[in-house]
């Protein structure tokens, strides 16, 4: 990276909990760090630690060759980046957008950036704020390889592992969406399980060690099933869909017997029954991925 003379190494736009963690990690690494947030006041602690508080987004992006953006979504990102004054100040500089949104929005923003002479990398943060600046942090990136290599030394100040997933700008967001799909459906299942368990007189603390055991089954299963899915194999040996829907029905009946909404499990059961109806009853549960992907 070759910052303009006299300018800071990095600018951080967006000072929510994650943005503050990012800026703090840059400061801890000794980088001159400029910060700005749409709501004034969030920069105070960072400025006390040595950050430079900009008066506007335009001033902030003009201070550095690299701007890292972390806001709630791309509507917020557009509101920060796309005003003419900010876009003009960014010309010839690079934005790494770590805000979460859809792959389509990443592609749209990249096209806008290219039209304004702005280097653009998209990315996602896959771990909590407490990991930032530590070896446990996980970042994924997509976009031009050369641009990524140029700015990687500064990004390394955020700690953890950084993976460049390819030049197609939407790939980081695609990974993010898929991985969050796993996380939130799993959390929804756990929350529902706690409600059912409580209705049956089982406390969350009592259930927790057994739930952790169920969770531990999943990582090797993910790896095993991935090979089969990519190879077109959906073996149901040991647990065919016909058996799976039976256990799902038990969960639905128990839940609704206690007056607990079973919508999440009914949705899963419905997908499984759809696959069975298409003749895949002897296949494994992951056959649903192929069925859902049919057009």
Of the pLDDT bands very low, low, confident and very high (cuts 50, 70, 90), residue 20 is very high
Longest alpha-carbon distance in the chain? 70
Q: What residue segments make up the domains of the chain, in order of their start? A: 10-167, 174-292
Q: Work out the average pLDDT over 200-225.
A: 97
pLDDT at residue 228, as a whole number: 87
Q: Work out the average pLDDT over 12-25.
A: 98
The domain defined by 10-167 folds into: Rossmann fold (3.40.50)
**Average pLDDT for the chain:** 95
pLDDT at residue 4, as a whole number: 39
Q: Work out the average pLDDT over 276-288.
A: 97
Of the pLDDT bands very low, low, confident and very high (cuts 50, 70, 90), residue 5 is very low
3-state secondary structure of 205: helix
Q: Work out the average pLDDT over 145-168.
A: 98
- pLDDT for 247-265, tens place per residue? 999 999 999 999 999 999 9
**Secondary structure of the chain as H, E, C letters:** CCCCCCCECEEEECCCHHHHHHHHHHHHCCCCEEEECCCCCCCHHHHHCCCEECCCHHHHHHCECEEEECCCCHHHHHHHHCCHHHHHHHCCCEEEECCCCCHHHHHHHHHHHHHCCCEEEEEEECCCHHHCCCCCCEEEEECCHHHHHHHHHHHHHHCCEEEECCCCCCHHHHHHHHHHHHHHHHHHHHHHHHHHHHHCCCCHHHHHHHHHHHHHHHHHHHHHHHHHHHCCCCECCCCCHHHHHHHHHHHHHHHHHCCCCCHHHHHHHHHHHHHHHHHHCCECCCHHHHHHCCC
- pLDDT for 44-95, tens place per residue? 999 999 999 999 999 999 999 999 999 999 999 999 999 999 999 999 999 9
pLDDT at residue 238, as a whole number: 87
The DSSP code for 141 is E
Q: Express as a percent the part of the chain with pLDDT over 90.
A: 95
- pLDDT for 159-194, tens place per residue? 999 999 999 999 999 999 999 999 999 999 999 999
- pLDDT for 98-120, tens place per residue? 999 999 999 999 999 999 999 99
CATH topology of 10-167 equal to that of 174-292? no
Of the pLDDT bands very low, low, confident and very high (cuts 50, 70, 90), residue 7 is low
**CATH number given to 174-292:** 1.10.1040.10
């Amino acid at each position: 990276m070759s910052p303009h003379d006299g300018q800071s190494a990095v600018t951080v736009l967006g000072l929510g909990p994650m943005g503050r963690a990012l800026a703090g990690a840059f400061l801890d690494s000794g980088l001159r760090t400029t910060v700005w947030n749409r709501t004034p006041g969030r920069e105070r602690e960072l400025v006390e630690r040595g950050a430079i508080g900009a008066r506007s987004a335009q001033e902030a992006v003009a201070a550095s060759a690299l701007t890292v953006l972390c806001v709630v979504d791309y509507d917020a990102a557009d509101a920060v980046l796309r005003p003419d004054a900010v876009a003009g100040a960014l010309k010839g500089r690079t934005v790494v957008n770590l805000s979460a949104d859809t792959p389509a929005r990443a592609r749209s923003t990249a096209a806008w950036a290219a039209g304004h002479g702005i280097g653009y990398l998209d990315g996602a943060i896959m771990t909590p704020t407490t990991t930032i600046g530590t070896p446990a942090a996980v970042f994924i990136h997509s976009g031009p390889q050369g641009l990524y290599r140029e700015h990687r030394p500064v990004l390394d100040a955020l700690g953890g592992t950084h993976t460049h997933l390819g030049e197609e700008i939407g790939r980081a967001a695609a990974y993010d969406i898929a991985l969050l799909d796993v996380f939130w459906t799993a959390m929804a299942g756990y929350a529902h399980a706690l409600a059912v368990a409580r209705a049956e007189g089982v406390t969350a603390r009592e259930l927790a060690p057994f739930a952790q055991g169920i969770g531990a089954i999943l990582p090797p299963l993910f790896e095993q099933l991935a090979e089969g899915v990519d190879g077109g194999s959906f073996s149901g040996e040991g647990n065919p869909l016909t058996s799976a829907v039976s256990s799902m029905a038990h969960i639905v009946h128990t839940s609704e017997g206690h007056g607990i909404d079973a919508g999440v499990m009914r949705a899963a059961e419905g997908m499984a029954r759809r696959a069975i109806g298409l003749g895949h009853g002897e296949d494994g549960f992951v056959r649903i991925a192929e069925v859902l992907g049919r057009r």
